[in-house]
């Protein structure tokens, strides 16, 4: 089999042209070994397109890492393998190209291009994994890192190798990513890896390396003399020190003190984190308020589109990250560590100052009042903190049954219909006269509609002045859990309608009915034998034209009372005889629903959409609860509205089977 190696920075060490040229010389199956920390987003999608057009079978093996643009390339494989110890990272595409004072039109063009490539990349991930776009966008936004096993479970890879050779991740400055593992950050620092996405600069650096090596090396400024030297004998402690110093140097306040240029000296000289932190704070205190803003030439030279070092949305994101660590103690702040100890009134001060408002003569109460009811970003920051608390709790409390449902789009609150093929999907032989038999596509009679669920509450001005975060740490998580519980109760209630036989379908019969071939004749104890009966019934299901559709059981859904028995039934046993082997070991995924009222009924169902049975929808594809704010009228502070537009329903009986209550 032919082999192709793609190592290094995407768009610099290899691009679409070089990959296309290499593939032009090959035919048939090809094995592609990929090891890249990322690179230029546009080149990543271009290479994915080139690989997708190759007619031979492609096996892509991730060796080391496939991050950012490289993860897009990886998705082009017909078979994707993750080597032992390798890493996959998926995030929203970004671009750092603005090194000048750009006009608003130039900035918008860059933002528009990033939006387009984000949509294209999300489609690639969704197509590969089978996940809905809404879930893929959440994975991208969160900057998600996967081990080989996690990548396979998420549908982004096929095989997780365990006995393959472990290779080091490709050269890349992994400090560019918000959630890079500490070992990658340490490698970047120790090896002095720097990202430079300019091919001209890369070639120039290669041609002048000998000249530069002969020149006198200028020692980077650090702390002289060295203060509080660290004990560097313990590798684990040394790793923590390097990580802490790197995080400190990347913080906006530390960057004003040129901490990034001092970082190498801090690491090599053994400076402790406490000493470096003390130095930064002392330098900040020595500066007057009038000189603490970054000069324009420094700001515009370092800033990237859509992210400010000391103002705007970039600052807001850092503040939200820091404040949320006080709301959720399990949240480790990444980009907003310096705001983790700030009070809400101090955040109000910062917002007012960024908005050009003087707070020197105002009381705490007056400053909070100004921040709440003026044009500052303070209300937006509080909203975003609330959204994080709401979303985290919502994601943690998801319904088990939701995994069996296919998400579809809803553009309004009207009844949603499904499409059914009435004459069977098979192609039929065309006779000598060239006549084609006709099949029809009809709109299914089963419908469901999206409905609105919500709550309104407020946070008072007094709570903000008192720095009371209870509303964020208690109320928002409760509402997030409540939103997930609302969905879960709707799913469970659908199955238990009509005395447990499910909702009535368009044929006038309940979801589970003897005529549908999906209801056990009598209540059966959960066992290998009863699961075998359920599997046969599902395999024997037929389509509208009577054709076999071969429904494959995927999930076993039970109440808590049957959980232990279900685990025993699905457990893999090392049997000495064929008769004792468990045919369902590893075949069905167990889902437990505590909201079922029956303690003995159990269900077997197919994967979402195979065939379509249970479906759910969010209005305009906006999943989960959404948070809205306005200035308080009845509440002296801010009013919040939590709203969720959601609906669910069964559109067909063929994907589910039930053994009724005893």
Q: Are 231 and 189 contained in the same domain?
A: no
Running DSSP on this structure, what letter comes out for residue 147?
-
pLDDT at residue 13 above 70?
yes
- Provide the H-helix boundaries in 509-654: 528-539, 563-570
Percent of the chain with pLDDT strictly greater than 70: 76
Neighbours of 461 (CB within 10 A): 18
Instruction: Compute the distance between CA of residue 401 and CA of residue 321 in angstroms, rounded to an integer.
Output: 32
| Contact by Cβ (8 Å): 65, 89 | yes
Give residue 153's pLDDT band: very low, low, confident or very high (50, 70, 90). very high
Instruction: Compute the distance between CA of residue 91 and CA of residue 178 in angstroms, rounded to an integer.
Output: 10
pLDDT at residue 556 above 90?
yes
- pLDDT score for 285: 56
- pLDDT score for 236: 60
Give domain status of residue 630, yes or no.
yes
Percent of the chain with pLDDT strictly greater than 90: 31
- pLDDT score for 69: 92
Q: Are 160 and 27 contained in the same domain?
A: yes
Tokens read off for 62: 């991730």
| Contact by Cβ (8 Å): 555, 404 | yes
Contacts of 190 (CB under 8 A, 6+ apart): 242, 267
For the stretch 40-62, pLDDT in tens is: 887 888 899 899 988 888 999 99
| Contact by Cβ (8 Å): 164, 83 | yes
Give residue 290's pLDDT band: very low, low, confident or very high (50, 70, 90). very low
DSSP, residue by residue, 281-293 = HHHHHHS-GGG-S
Q: Are 130 and 245 contained in the same domain?
A: no
**Interval 367-394 mean pLDDT:** 84
State the CATH number of the domain containing residue 407.
3.90.1690
- pLDDT score for 495: 95
Cα–Cα separations (whole angstroms), residue 571 to 560, 587, 606, 651: 17, 10, 20, 32
- pLDDT score for 68: 93
Q: Please name every residue paired with 49 in a beta bridge, in sequence order, or none if there are none.
A: none
For the stretch 21-40, pLDDT in tens is: 888 888 888 999 999 999 88
| Contact by Cβ (8 Å): 427, 513 | no
pLDDT at residue 213 above 80?
no
* Residue with token string 């330098």: 283
Least Cα distance to 259 among 295, 300, 232, 223 occurs for 223
Least Cα distance to 32 among 17, 13, 54, 9 occurs for 54
- pLDDT score for 219: 38
pLDDT at residue 499 above 90?
yes
Domain boundary among 201, 235, 256: 201
Total structural domains within the chain: 3
Q: Please name every residue paired with 416 in a beta bridge, in sequence order, or none if there are none.
A: 448
- pLDDT score for 327: 87
**Interval 250-277 mean pLDDT:** 74
Q: Are 118 and 232 contained in the same domain?
A: no
Q: Are 260 and 141 contained in the same domain?
A: no
Backbone angles phi, psi at 557, to 5 degrees: -110, 125
- pLDDT score for 592: 96
pLDDT at residue 214 above 80?
no
Give domain status of residue 21, yes or no.
yes
Give the domain extent around 255: 224-292
DSSP, residue by residue, 322-344 = HHHHHH-TT---SS-GGGTT--H
3-class DSSP state of 294: coil
Contacts of 371 (CB under 8 A, 6+ apart): 348, 349, 351, 352, 378, 379
pLDDT at residue 296 above 80?
no
Give domain status of residue 308, yes or no.
no
Q: Are 100 and 241 contained in the same domain?
A: no
CA atoms within 13 A on the CB side of 175: 24
User: Which of the residue ranges 68-77, 107-116, 426-435, 474-483 has the most confident prediction, judged by mean pLDDT?
Assistant: 68-77
**Interval 605-625 mean pLDDT:** 90
* Residue with token string 């032992």: 84
- pLDDT score for 418: 63
Q: Are 531 and 423 contained in the same domain?
A: yes
DSSP, residue by residue, 471-512 = IIIIIHHHHHHHHHHHHHHHHHHHHTHHHHT--B-TTSSBSS
Which of the pair, 466 or 251, is modelled with greater confidence? 466
Give domain status of residue 587, yes or no.
yes
* Residue with token string 């970047």: 188
pLDDT at residue 441 above 50?
no
For the stretch 231-258, pLDDT in tens is: 666 666 766 777 677 767 766 566 666 7
The pTM for the full model equals 0.49
Beta strands in 138-197 (DSSP E): 144-146, 159-160
- pLDDT score for 379: 86
Instruction: Compute the distance between CA of residue 397 and CA of residue 417 in angstroms, rounded to an integer.
Output: 29
Q: Are 146 and 241 contained in the same domain?
A: no
Which of the pair, 224 or 238, is modelled with greater confidence? 238
Give domain status of residue 476, yes or no.
no
Neighbours of 198 (CB within 10 A): 10
For the stretch 319-359, pLDDT in tens is: 998 888 888 888 888 888 878 878 888 888 888 877 777 65
DSSP, residue by residue, 439-463 = --EEEEEEEE--EEEEEEEEEEHHH
Q: Are 82 and 9 contained in the same domain?
A: yes
| Contact by Cβ (8 Å): 437, 631 | no
Least Cα distance to 70 among 39, 101, 99, 97 occurs for 39
Give domain status of residue 557, yes or no.
yes
State the CATH number of the domain containing residue 130.
3.90.226.10
Give domain status of residue 22, yes or no.
yes
Instruction: Compute the distance between CA of residue 256 and CA of residue 293 in angstroms, rounded to an integer.
Output: 8
What phi-psi label fits residue 11: left (phi over 0), alpha (psi between -120 and 50 degrees) or beta? Answer: left
How does the average pLDDT of the chain come out, rounded? 79
Which of the pair, 534 or 3, is modelled with greater confidence? 534
Q: Which of 295-304, 382-391, 438-447 has the lowest mean pLDDT?
A: 295-304
Q: Are 520 and 592 contained in the same domain?
A: yes
| Contact by Cβ (8 Å): 521, 537 | no
Rg from Cα positions in the chain = 29
CA atoms within 13 A on the CB side of 273: 12
- Cis before residue 611, ω within 30 degrees of 0? yes
Give domain status of residue 27, yes or no.
yes
How would you classify the pairing of strands 602-606 and 656-659? antiparallel
Neighbours of 424 (CB within 10 A): 16
- pLDDT score for 136: 93
- pLDDT score for 55: 85
How many helices (H) and strands (E) the chain has is answered by 24, 18
- Cis before residue 387, ω within 30 degrees of 0? no
- pLDDT score for 276: 79
Q: Which of 101-105, 141-145, 382-386, 494-498 has the lowest mean pLDDT?
A: 101-105
Domain boundary among 201, 232, 252: 201
Tokens read off for 1: 């089999």
Q: Are 258 and 112 contained in the same domain?
A: no
| Contact by Cβ (8 Å): 58, 3 | no
What element of type H or E holds 112?
helix 104-129
pLDDT at residue 292 above 80?
no
Instruction: Compute the distance between CA of residue 410 and CA of residue 64 in angstroms, rounded to an integer.
Output: 41
For the stretch 616-627, pLDDT in tens is: 999 888 888 988
Q: Are 234 and 120 contained in the same domain?
A: no
Tokens read off for 575: 């049997």
Neighbours of 581 (CB within 10 A): 13
Cα–Cα separations (whole angstroms), residue 311 to 248, 286, 353, 486: 19, 22, 10, 39
- pLDDT score for 537: 95
């Amino acid at each position: 089999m032919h082999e192709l190696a793609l190592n290094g920075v995407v768009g610099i060490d290899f691009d679409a042209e070089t990959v296309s040229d290499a593939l032009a010389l090959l035919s048939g199956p090809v094995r592609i070994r990929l090891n890249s920390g990322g690179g230029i987003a546009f080149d990543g999608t271009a290479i994915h397109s080139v690989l997708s057009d190759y007619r031979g079978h492609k096996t892509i093996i991730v060796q080391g890492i496939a991050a950012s643009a490289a993860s897009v390339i990886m998705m082009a494989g017909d078979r994707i393998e993750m080597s032992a110890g390798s890493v996959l990272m998926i995030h929203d595409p970004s671009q750092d190209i603005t090194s000048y004072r750009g006009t608003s039109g130039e900035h918008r063009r860059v933002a528009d291009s990033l939006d387009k490539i984000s949509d294209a990349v999300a489609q690639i991930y969704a197509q590969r994994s089978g996940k809905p776009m809404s879930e893929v966008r959440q994975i991208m936004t969160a900057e998600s890192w996967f081990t080989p096993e996690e990548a396979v479970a998420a549908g982004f890879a096929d095989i997780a190798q365990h006995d393959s050779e472990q290779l080091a991740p490709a050269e890349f400055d992994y400090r560019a990513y918000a959630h890079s593992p500490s070992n990658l950050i340490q490698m970047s620092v120790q090896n002095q890896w720097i990202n430079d996405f300019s091919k001209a600069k890369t070639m120039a650096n290669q041609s002048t390396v000998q000249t530069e090596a002969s020149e006198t090396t200028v020692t980077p400024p650090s702390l002289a003399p060295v203060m509080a030297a660290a004990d560097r004998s313990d590798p684990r402690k040394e790793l923590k020190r390097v990580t802490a110093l790197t995080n400190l140097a990347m913080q906006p306040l530390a960057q004003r003190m040129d901490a990034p240029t001092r970082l190498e000296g801090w690491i090599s000289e053994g400076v402790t984190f406490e000493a470096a932190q003390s130095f930064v704070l002392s330098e900040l205190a020595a500066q007057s308020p009038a000189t603490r803003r970054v000069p324009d030439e420094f700001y515009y030279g370092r800033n990237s589109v859509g992210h400010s070092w000391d103002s705007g949305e970039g600052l807001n994101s850092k503040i939200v990250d820091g404040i949320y660590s006080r709301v959720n103690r399990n949240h480790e702040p990444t980009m907003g560590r310096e705001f983790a100890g700030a009070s809400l009134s101090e955040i109000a001060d910062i917002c007012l100052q960024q908005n050009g408002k003087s707070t020197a003569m105002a009381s705490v109460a007056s400053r909070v009042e100004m921040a709440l009811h003026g044009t500052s970003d303070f209300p937006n920051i509080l909203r975003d903190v609330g959204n994080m608390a709401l979303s985290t709790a919502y994601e943690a409390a998801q319904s088990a049954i939701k995994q069996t449902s296919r998400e579809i789009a809803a553009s309004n609150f009207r009844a949603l219909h499904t499409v059914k093929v009435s004459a069977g999907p098979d192609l039929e032989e065309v006779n000598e006269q060239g006549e084609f038999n006709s099949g029809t596509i009809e709109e299914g009679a089963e419908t469901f509609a999206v409905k609105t669920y919500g709550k309104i509450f407020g946070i008072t001005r007094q709570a903000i002045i008192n720095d009371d975060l209870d509303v964020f740490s208690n109320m928002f998580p409760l509402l997030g859990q409540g939103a997930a519980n609302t969905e879960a109760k709707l799913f469970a209630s659908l199955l238990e309608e009509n005395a447990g036989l499910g909702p009535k379908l368009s044929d006038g019969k309940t979801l589970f009915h003897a005529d549908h071939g999906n209801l056990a004749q009598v209540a059966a104890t959960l066992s290998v034998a009863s699961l075998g009966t359920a599997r046969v019934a599902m395999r024997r299901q037929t389509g509208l034209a009577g054709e076999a559709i071969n429904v494959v059981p995927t999930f076993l859904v039970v109440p808590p009372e049957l959980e232990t028995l279900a685990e025993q039934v699905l457990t893999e046993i090392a049997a000495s005889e064929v008769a004792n082997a468990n045919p369902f070991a590893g075949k069905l995924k167990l889902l437990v629903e505590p909201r079922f009222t029956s303690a003995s009924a159990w269900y077997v169902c197919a994967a979402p959409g195979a065939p379509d049975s249970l479906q759910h929808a969010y209005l305009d594809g906006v999943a989960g609860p959404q948070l809205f704010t306005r200035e308080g009228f009845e509440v002296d502070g801010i009013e919040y509205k939590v709203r969720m537009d959601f609906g669910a329903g069964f559109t067909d009986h063929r994907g589910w089977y039930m053994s009724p209550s005893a």
